[in-house]
Amino acid sequence: MTDEIWDVLIVGAGPAGLTAGLYAARANLHSVLIEKLAPGGELLNTDLIEDYPGFISTTGFELAQKMEEHARKFGLEIEQASVTAIKANDGMFITETEEGTEYRSKTVIMTAGGVPKKLEVPGEAEMAGHGVSYCAVCDGPLFRNKVVAVAGGGDSAFQEGIYLTRHASKVYIIHRRDEFRASPDLQAKAKANPKIEFITSAVIDEIGGSPNVEWAAVRSLKDGSVTKVPLDGVFVFIGFSPNSGLFSGHLNHDEQGFLLTNDHMETGVPGLYAAGDVRSQLARQITTAVGDATTAAIAAEHYIEDQAFKAKSARS
Ligand code: NAP
């Protein structure tokens, strides 16, 4: 561990992390953002973005690049490492990484997002990378003129299902209910797309093939019948689980593990904030991540000022 003390340490470089970093660095706070992969987070798994104000149509990659460039311009340092633990110690936070580096900071903003939820059916884990995928932008081009299924009925399933029709000859959207969670505009687009076929009130029980995916066993929840649907790929978009377990101490969370904060994005541990997809909230959008991260960075700034004022008052 070096003697360096950061004002703000941010974990995760998705839209929330890059925004918190921009605001913290621009406020002249000594700020570092730690990301295990490339900056961008979920943006890098998203093709088309049409709901970020000011950008009528952009790609996740482009927006990620712009957000990173913007934050770096104001002095944010971005380091590549995988955070394993965050500990509170004597008014300071110690952040440990798999690479062995340790960081000391006055505040921490957790913007570590989440990981895709798995179907947890036979064949899924075995065929991950052999036709089972959690990222249409990454793997979609491998399915040119092939038949794929998308599991899920939310915005991700619809958005990615529509994207996959650019490559695949046919896309089944398999959903466990008759009604969808996806927004009406995405539903309208998908329903108008001749390459998309819906299989509703049904679940995937098993994925099979050798060595690559060749079929999925789809069970009707109406009559229990099982159909072996010939397929080349299965894309799973059934939500995600938050990366909320990094702090070595209790943090309030909802029943799914998403962190609970107040309006200032405070977690309940002074100096520790959460924003973006790791936080419990109604809508998980780029816009909400960006807004919450702004609040978290400003709250962290106020906290640091208050602590400095208290320390100064105690000395005089
Ligand atoms: P989501 O909204 O939680 O939807 C998950 C879908 O998967 C639901 O339809 C759910 O079914 C289904 N599901 C969950 N567990 C399942 C299981 N074990 N087996 C089969 N199906 C299962 O997740 P999401 O689509 O990833 O979206 C996450 C958040 O990101 C949402 O807030 C969404 O609005 C946002 N988002 C926004 C955009 C955009 O364009 N603005 C794009 C992507 C995501 P039920 O409906 O029956 O529960």
CB 248 within 8 A of CB 86: yes
The per-residue pLDDT for 119 is 98
Measured between alpha carbons, how far is 131 from 274 in angstroms, rounded to an integer?
35
How many residues in total does the chain contain? 316
The per-residue pLDDT for 283 is 87
CB 200 within 8 A of CB 177: yes
CA of 298 to the centre of ligand 1 (A): 30
Measured between alpha carbons, how far is 273 from 109 in angstroms, rounded to an integer?
5
Q: Is 130 in the pocket of ligand 1 (CB under 6 A)?
A: no
- CATH number (3.50.50.60, 3.40.50.180, 3.30.2020.30, 3.30.460.40) of 5-116+240-315 reads 3.50.50.60
The per-residue pLDDT for 47 is 87
Q: Is 189 in the pocket of ligand 1 (CB under 6 A)?
A: no
CA of 54 to the centre of ligand 1 (A): 26
pTM of the model: 0.89
Measured between alpha carbons, how far is 309 from 282 in angstroms, rounded to an integer?
36
Alpha carbon of residue 280 to chain centroid: 13
Measured between alpha carbons, how far is 65 from 195 in angstroms, rounded to an integer?
32
- Burial status of residue 109 (CB atoms within 10 A of its CB: 0-12, 13-18, 19 or more): buried
Catalytic residues: 135, 138-139
Cα torsion angle, 205, 236, 111, 56, sign: negative
Region 18-44: mean pLDDT is 97
Q: What string of DSSP letters covers 77-136?
A: EEEE--EEEEEEETTEEEEEETTS-EEEEEEEEE---EEEPP---TTTTTTBTTTEES-H
Measured between alpha carbons, how far is 128 from 42 in angstroms, rounded to an integer?
19
Q: Is 288 in the pocket of ligand 1 (CB under 6 A)?
A: no
Q: Which long-range contacts (CB under 8 A, 24 or more apart) does 287-290 make?
A: 287/51, 287/52, 287/53, 289/14, 289/15, 289/16, 289/19, 289/111, 290/15, 290/16, 290/19
Domains 5-116+240-315 and 124-236 share a fold: yes
The per-residue pLDDT for 113 is 96
* Structural domain boundaries in the chain: 5-116+240-315, 124-236
Render pLDDT for 122-143 as a digit per residue (tens, 0 to 9). Answer: 999 999 999 999 999 999 999 9
- CATH number (3.40.50.300, 3.50.50.60, 3.40.50.2300, 3.40.50.850) of 124-236 reads 3.50.50.60
What is the average pLDDT value for the chain, to the nearest integer?
96
